A and B are shown apart, each in its own frame.
Chain A
Amino acid sequence: MSEVDELVSKILSQLNNGDSSQSTGTTTASSVTPTSSPANSGKTFDKGDYPLFRKHPDDVKTPTGKAVSDITLDNVVSGKVDSKDLRITANTLRRQGEIAASAGRPAIQRNFQRAAELTKIPDDKVLSFYNALRPFRSSKQDLLDIAKQLRDTYHAPVCANWFEEAAGNYEISKKLKGDN
């Protein structure tokens, strides 16, 4: 799986550095400018870099590009920092994934790769995607449509694969809409 992990990391990092207008307009939650710190393309993190809050506070950014040290009481009270700053970024999740993998837990890294893609997707969409995966909720086409949306609109190839894989398996195991 390590090649896949590498590829995914690369894609994510390109996404983080590149196109920043993934706004869907439905909620404000996380459809904001991703950070484009130069550290993205740099070193791979490992368990020696953990915890990030103590060892790399300057590298941890909010979704609006603020430093984690900017999250202060004064800034929250004055409104300079609001709830959309209090979110983890794809980049930070990728680093936590690298740390998990270096501690011998590659499955956690794969989870964080999916999660990193989801940081860009508004809350209500994320919830609706989850509900679509529950048994007997969706037709095969519904799931494939979500996969397409994930891939094309949200640049979330790992999650798109997840939905395609589910669509195929649900068809065989009779978990699609109308199968119950």
Chain B
Amino acid sequence: MKRQKRFEKLEKRPVHLDGFVKEWDDEGLVAMEGKNDPKPSVKVENGVVTELDGKKKADFDLIDKYIAEYGFNIDKAEEVMAMDSTKIAKMLVDPNVPRSEIVKLTTAMTPAKAEEVISKLNFGEMIMAVQKMRPRRTPATQCHITNTRDNPVEIAADAAEASLRGFPEQETTTAIARYAPLNAISIMVGSQTGRPGVITQCSVEESEELSLGMRGFTAYAETISVYGTDRVFTDGDDTPWSKGFLASCYASRGLKMRFTSGAGSEVMMGYTEGKSMLYLEARCIFITKGSGVQGLQNGGVSCIGIPGAVPSGLREVLGENLLCMMIDVECASGCDQAFSHSDIRRTERMIGQFIAGTDYISSGYAAEENRDNTFAGSNMDVLDYDDYCSMERDLSINGGIVPIHEEDAIKIRNKGAKAIQAVFDGLGLPKITDEEVEAATYGSNSDDMPKRDMVQDMKAAQDLMDRGTTISDVIKALYDHDFKDVAEAVLKLAQQKVCGDYLQTSAIFDGDWNCISAVNDTNDYMGPGTGYRLWEDKPQWDKIKDIPWAMDPQHMDF
């Protein structure tokens, strides 16, 4: 065929590097309302669920059993299941219906009913509903702190800068698994240097992650995956009962945790039972609720390419975020893993969550250059900071990140790097040189860093675990090296674990260790004049307005 010149040009646009597929219901390649999805139903006899979404008790798999036992309020279930789903969807959007009224209904429905309700909403209505249904009134966001060499000095410097930029939660993982304790300590020390009150996690294998938390090296965990089909759950090496128990293990050590799930994971792992992404995700959300876990990271997450490829996929993704919030569970709403080659679609990816505001708009904004992101890249990274802040300023939206001045970044990066240098010295870990501190202060990615002897670092990491090092040792090391303020911040974090306030839904800390959660900062949105408005949060609005690259028309030299 003779090519049409405009089509040839269009094919060269970045969007054509993205994957798009047609729907295939039987393999689960369908966003919502799949042809094999069950019709909503429930039967409760003598306080026991005997039918759930078209399945009789004798046919329940492990997930059905768990949801039937723990997932929803059976006392009200038959009443809510009889309600018209469109009516409930309208209530979600109607600003006159308070959030608390809706939660009474949503926590008494089944996964298939929840899917049906969500499916009634268009994208704009979902934004309206998220604005009202997110548990915490004040929105926030979260970042990743990683680099491909697991360089601890760079982790600490990036964490310190990210704290200054406003991330109340920061997450690291490893390029090489054996680095885990060093990464966990580096992100914690760096983040507390940047702004006391930030909480950090280190995403590694389930048992190991818990053991880092038990030593006090982390404050929360989120990569505790749950899945929507029994086969995939088992392949993920857990069951609802093991994950529910793990949740209690975390709480027993004063550690905040949330589960993770998201559209596309069952497709990726090959067993969808022919069900749609939203239906399977609804099951994950009800497992989370039933486990008594305060929060969930969802919204495609690391499988975003799959919902992103099918029709209505990103509507489904915002829909699953909404479903999480509407059953009163904290939502860290994805917008993390790299999604598209197109800058326009990258913006599309986060725009619903960004406009509505969620507990954490991104559950992993790359607070390093994407090439250093060992979570396989994020939808947005450090080089998007100025675009993101401009959008917040343009739209008067608190997206959770504030612009900072270069000199302040240099100062805080340097302090974070020096603090981890002190901790490494105090714990007898391989030396961090002044040259490394300087490089981390002024560098932007791991190529800017001198190479470390990684074998020695890994041996030291193992030795640190074998010696039984805990958070007390980190505090002492900071204190002994004259980082009293950072020592104090790390100590305050340990103190908060004794109090457990931040185990409540959607909890974060401000710089004075005030715990802000859905318990004391309940979302009260009921239309104009209510809820969180950035311009009424003057300190935050002043920061967002103050982009360093804006001209001051009253003080210009011509």
Interface residues of A (CB under 8 A from B): 29, 47, 50-54, 60, 62, 68, 71-73, 76-77, 81-83, 85-89, 92-93, 95-96, 99-100, 103-105, 107-112, 114-119, 121, 123, 126-127, 129-131, 133-135, 159, 162, 165-166, 169-170, 173, 175
Contacts and interface: CB of A to CB of B under 8 A. Distances in A.
Contact of A111 (B103, B211, B247, B491): B247
B287 to A, nearest CB: 11
In terms of DSSP, what is the predominant structure of the interface of chain A? helix
B306 to A, nearest CB: 24
Interface in B227-264: 230, 234, 237-239, 241-242, 244-254
A88 B504 contact: no
Given A77-B479, A105-B328, A127-B207, A133 B62 contact: no
B497 interface: yes
Contacts of A116: 252
Contact of A130 (B207, B234, B470): B207
Contacts of A127: 207, 210-211, 249
A88 B213 CA distance: 13
Contacts of A85: 498
Contact of A104 (B242, B250, B328, B488): B328
Interface in B426-468: none
A129 B472 contact: no
Contacts of B487: 73
A146 to B, nearest CB: 11
B214 interface: yes
Contact of B519 (A47, A87, A118): A47
A62 B247 CA distance: 21
A64 B302 CA distance: 42
- In the A-B complex, the 10 residue pairs with the smallest Cβ-Cβ separation, listed nearest first, are A111-B292, A115-B251, A88-B254, A118-B252, A114-B248, A133-B242, A51-B501, A166-B241, A107-B292, A115-B252
Contacts of A117: 252
B515 interface: yes
A2 B144 CA distance: 40
Nearest to A47: B519
A133 B244 CA distance: 10
- Name which of A72, A95, A121, A133 has the most chain B CB atoms within 10 A of its CB: A133
A121 B292 CA distance: 20
B79 interface: no
A62 B234 CA distance: 38
A76 B488 CA distance: 10
6 contacts: A50-B504, A72-B491, A83-B215, A107-B70, A126-B249, A130-B246
Contact of B237 (A96, A135, A162): A135
- Name which of B479, B496, B504, B513 has the most chain A CB atoms within 10 A of its CB: B504
A96 B328 CA distance: 17
Interface residues of B, number: 67
Contacts of B251: 93, 111-112, 114-115
B497 A88 contact: yes
Contacts of B495: 53, 68, 71, 86
A99 B292 contact: no
B189 to A, nearest CB: 15
Contacts of A107: 70, 289-292
Contacts of A126: 210, 249, 252
Contacts of B215: 83
Interface of B: 61-62, 65, 69-70, 100, 103, 206-207, 210-211, 214-216, 230, 234, 237-239, 241-242, 244-254, 289-294, 328, 470-472, 475-476, 479, 484, 487-488, 491, 494-501, 503-505, 513-515, 517-520
Given A50-B520, A53-B499, A169 B241 contact: yes
Contact of B230 (A53, A100, A173): A173
Nearest to A52: B499
A14 to B, nearest CB: 19
Given A103-B518, A118-B252, A111 B501 contact: no
A77 B476 contact: yes
Contacts of A83: 215-216, 470-472
Contacts of A73: 475, 479, 484, 487-488, 491
Given A96-B504, A104-B103, A173-B62, 6 more contacts: A71-B494, A73-B475, A89-B498, A112-B251, A117-B252, A175-B239
Contact of A131 (B207, B230, B289, B292): B207
A24 to B, nearest CB: 15
Contacts of B289: 107
Given A52-B499, A107-B290, A108-B505, A93 B252 contact: yes
A96 B214 CA distance: 19
B476 A76 contact: yes
Contact of B494 (A54, A86, A135, A175): A86
A29 B253 CA distance: 10
- Name which of A68, A109, A111 has the most chain B CB atoms within 10 A of its CB: A111
A103 B237 CA distance: 33
A160 to B, nearest CB: 12
B239 A88 contact: no
Contacts of B484: 73
Contacts of A82: 472
A177 to B, nearest CB: 13
A71 B498 contact: yes
B67 to A, nearest CB: 12
Given A53-B501, A99-B504, A115-B248, A87 B211 contact: no
